[in-house]
Chain A
Amino acid sequence: MLAGKRILLVEDEPVIAFAVEDMLADMGCEVVGPAFRLDDAQDLARAERIDAAILDVNLNDQRSYAVAEELERRSIPFLFATGYAEGGVEWPGSAALLPKPYRADQIRAALEQLFGADAG
């Protein structure tokens, strides 16, 4: 189900980004990015072919909402990844949350639900 899906990964911590990149690769996904910075992430979100996105909410004290807006405009589903307690995401629309630290099974389940919901 996830094979060949192009997933935009936005994560400011390189070590973590590489780990998630490997996890997604293991799931058969193609990683767009990872983008470590907000402006890089916005460029990718605007221009790249993307099926879904994993957005770390907190990017070096900035928020990734601008990227989410762009994705929403393109009707691309996304997940907010956050280490904060619930309520730390101040996003007005509905958005699926992915808790940090990342776990491969959680990523897989969240993405499958994203595509499932999208399909259904």
Chain B
Amino acid sequence: MPVFLDGGGECGALIKARDWSGSLGPVASWSQSLKAATGLLLRSPVPMVMLWGEDGIMIYNDAYSLFAGGRHPQLLGSKVREGWPEVADFNDHVMKVGLAGGTLSYKDQELTLYRSGAPEQVWMDLDYSPVIGDDGRPAGVLAVVIETTDRIRAVRALRDRERHLEALFQQTSAGIAEADLQGRIITANDRYCEIVGRAREDLLSITIADLTHPDDLPENQVLLGKLLANGESFRIEKRYVRPEGEAVWVSNDVNLVRHEDGQPANIVAVCVETGDRRRAEEALRESEARFRNMADHAPVMLWVTDADGRCTYLNRSWYEFTGQTKEQAEGFGWLDATHPDDRAEAERVFLEANRRGEPFRIEYRLRRHDGKYRWSIDAAAPRFAPTGEFLGYIGSVIDIDERREMEDALRDSEERFRNMADNTPVMLWVTDETGYCTYLNRRWYEYTGQAPGEGAGLGWLKAVHPDDRQNAERVFLTANDEHRPYQVDFRLRHSDGGYRWCADTAEPRFDGSGRFLGYVGSVVDIDERREAAEKVRLSEEMLRSVIEQMPVGVAVARVPSGEIFEYNQALEDMLGHPILSEDASTYNRYGGIDEEGNSLPPEAYPLGRAVMFGETVVGDEMRYRRADGRIIHLLGHASPVIGPTGKPDIAVVTLQDITDRKRAEQHQRLLIDELSHRAKNLLAIIQSVAQQSFKNGSSPAAMVASFEGRLGALAAAHGILTRQRWESAPLRQVICDTITAVKADDHRLQLDGPDLMVAPKTGVSIAMAVHELTTNAVKYGSFSNDEGTVSVTWRIEDGRLKLEWHERGGPPVQPPSKRGFGSRMIERGLAAELGGKVKIDFDPEGVVCRVDAPFAEAD
């Protein structure tokens, strides 16, 4: 039997019993090195496994079998890659390195194993080294396997706890600081830093004493000393001082942290800010002080007792009234001040009430400091703690003799007021400080028809018109809150059934010490006043709308200032600028101008004249330069208006833009002038024609015929011009009409030329000239027989009019012995008119007249 397996524990026995024929062969045949390594391994207390051969046949010891868990004992003798399939890659690497003679070492190697079927996170220290075979070469790999899972888990758990503690430390609402035994701060959480108002790094250089308020330091140090000496933990209410000097109240719990051996290690302070709590306590103290202060100044006597009925406090009024001292009065000494006849009853009532904790009221005579007894009322209410516990009484004592006297005096004064108020013709009312109406005079009830007393409280509102009621109430209550005077208008029901406008005016009342007592008010009927004002408003509105709709510009100014306070849009549109609301002295800033374009002075404006001189201006014309520069003509009427005083108080001006009318008038004047000129000119021409016609000794009949013919030509030319509105004359028609007026059979007349328009005056001159040529032709020329013809031709050549009169077929022409009106008219007159040359040739074949003149066609 192989000795090397003996003493190899359970695994040794298993190896011995196993049939190795399929893998390593019978144990007896194992190589020397395999046997030696197995023997070593089996005897090791450290978990070890050997992976033999290329397949890594696993041989391990008992310690490893524990590690193998549910896989043992099947794992023994299996191939490592199959035995641990989940880490086959890892072991494959191990095998390759180990069989190549290398070593591997892993610390806390994390692996997921399925030792009991379920996945399991494990950590291990793994050391692999080659096992040299008989042939001197690596034949297997020996692994030392130490599972570190438990250690890793413990470390992790510790770290988590630390993290949790740190979070707790930081996030707790308490400030925590740890200091060494000398008080030097070692660490502090965020909250502590916040409370003391310093950064953590700033705290590490100072002591807790440095942070503590000097006034709290002695107590703190004493307690700290006890802590260190006897280990007495303590709590202290103290102040920390922040760097900027602010003191923070904290409640500080201080404990020792000890080493394991019980020696003090550090001091831990846990503090909570108590600023609010402190303040509340202070406020309470202050409120008590205030109560005493107030009570001492109260005009009534006050007292306080405890649950046993002992008087613990009496105010100054008590001592002043009774002349008792504190020592005499407190406890039950106050009873000594009551009248001997009343004392027993007072004591009985008080003690009886005190026993039950009920409110009470006693009347007794109280001895005043001067020895006189005064009837007094002592009334008290029990005091209870929030828990419901009876604490005693607070009570007050009033001298009712005094009150009675005062009430009597007041009643007298009130009586007088009522008497007076009831007999005034205006409505009067009085309210108290809550707004409750305590009095309305007789006039109110007469006026409104309310039943006596119906107006009390807020009952007076029922007499106010429903539409005004809400506003009246709101105004009153608002003023009542603010204690200020007010006025409000509302419709008030009149006893005749209708509503009438009234003005309610009220003044707040205050007593001698300035305390608000309510109001006293009066109500006045203003219906007629309002109606009149409304009428004025309506009529003003109507006037304004009339003014606005007037088709002329209107402005209304005050007299004597001249300030324009009303005007219409038409005026602004007309003047082209906004109306200035200024005094008459600045009217010159408006656009009125004289003929030279200079600005007009204020007194030249119609409104200025009406305002300043009371003048009534009718139909004044004025030139006006609008804001856009356009000059217009205005027709102005202005007059002052007599006001209720009998003197003018306003002045009104109306302005009308008559620019178009003026222009039409001007145009008309021009037309008349022109007509007159033409008529006179025509007469001058006719006169001249007559003079010429009647001078050369022909027969009177011939002279008349000649004159008539010339007049006819003039008339024909004027006829054409009139039809053409004296703008221009068609040349062809002028020539044709002139000739046919003398010689009607027009087939002997030839006209040839373009249609041209000539100026009116030129037309007349051409007509006159053509007339002269025609009459000459009729008398002596081609129209004097039956065959002769006249041709008139014209054309425009290089901007010149070339016109030719040509007679043919007449009797032989002889030049005239002297030139008469005709030739003068033609050769000089027409030439001058046309600004060119006109020449008549008395050719024996026929008269030829040639015109050559610059030409510009008339429009």
Contacts and interface: CB of A to CB of B under 8 A. Distances in A.
Contacts of B824: 18
Interface string A54-84: 0000101000000000000000000000011
Interface in A82-96: 83-85, 88
B780 to A, nearest CB: 21
Given A19-B692, A22-B695, A14 B677 contact: no
Given A14-B765, A14-B830, A22-B691, A84 B685 contact: no
Contact of B692 (A18, A37, A88): A18
B257 to A, nearest CB: 128
Contacts of B825: 14-15, 18
B829 A101 contact: no
Contacts of B835: 37
Contact of B829 (A14, A22, A58): A14
A45 B242 CA distance: 119
A60 B761 CA distance: 9
A109 interface: no
Contacts, number: 70
Contact of B684 (A23, A37, A100): A100
Contacts of B829: 14-15, 17-18, 36
Nearest to B683: A101
Nearest to A40: B832
B688 A36 contact: no
A83 B828 contact: no
B336 to A, nearest CB: 130
B717 to A, nearest CB: 12
A67 to B, nearest CB: 16
A89 to B, nearest CB: 13
B833 interface: yes
B681 A83 contact: yes
A102 interface: yes
Contact of A16 (B673, B676, B677, B685): B685
A68 B773 CA distance: 37
Contacts of A84: 673, 676-677
Interface residues of B, number: 26
A13 B830 contact: no
A37 B832 contact: yes
A99 B684 CA distance: 10
A18 B688 contact: yes
Q: Looking at A15, A20, A60, A102, which has the most chain B CB atoms within 10 Å of its CB?
A: A15
A22 B687 CA distance: 12
A19 B681 contact: no
B51 to A, nearest CB: 140
B464 interface: no
Interface of B is mostly: helix
A36 B832 contact: yes
Given A83-B684, A101-B684, A15 B677 contact: no
Contacts of B676: 83-85
B673 A22 contact: no
B90 interface: no
Contact of A13 (B673, B681, B821): B681
B691 A101 contact: no
B673 A19 contact: no
Interface string B751-781: 0000000000100010010000000000000
Given A16-B688, A83-B676, A85-B673, A100 B681 contact: yes
B574 interface: no
Nearest to A18: B824
B833 A58 contact: no
B680 interface: yes
Given A16-B685, A19-B687, A83 B832 contact: no
A15 B833 contact: no
B833 A14 contact: yes
Interface in B758-815: 761, 765, 768
Given A36-B832, A36-B833, A15 B673 contact: no
B689 interface: yes
A83 B765 contact: no
Contacts of B828: 14, 18
A18 B821 contact: yes
A76 to B, nearest CB: 23
A4 to B, nearest CB: 22
Contacts of B684: 13, 16, 83, 100-102
Contact of A102 (B687, B689, B692): B687
A13 B677 CA distance: 13
Interface of B: 673, 676-677, 680-681, 683-685, 687-689, 691-692, 695, 761, 765, 768, 821, 824-825, 828-830, 832-833, 835
15 contacts: A13-B684, A14-B833, A15-B685, A15-B688, A15-B689, A16-B687, A18-B692, A18-B825, A20-B688, A83-B676, A83-B680, A83-B681, A84-B676, A100-B680, A102-B684
Please give me the 7 A-B residue pairs with the lowest Cβ-Cβ distance, nearest first: A14-B829, A19-B688, A36-B832, A83-B680, A101-B684, A101-B687, A15-B688
Given A19-B687, A20-B688, 8 more contacts: A14-B832, A14-B833, A18-B688, A37-B832, A83-B677, A101-B680, A101-B684, A102-B688
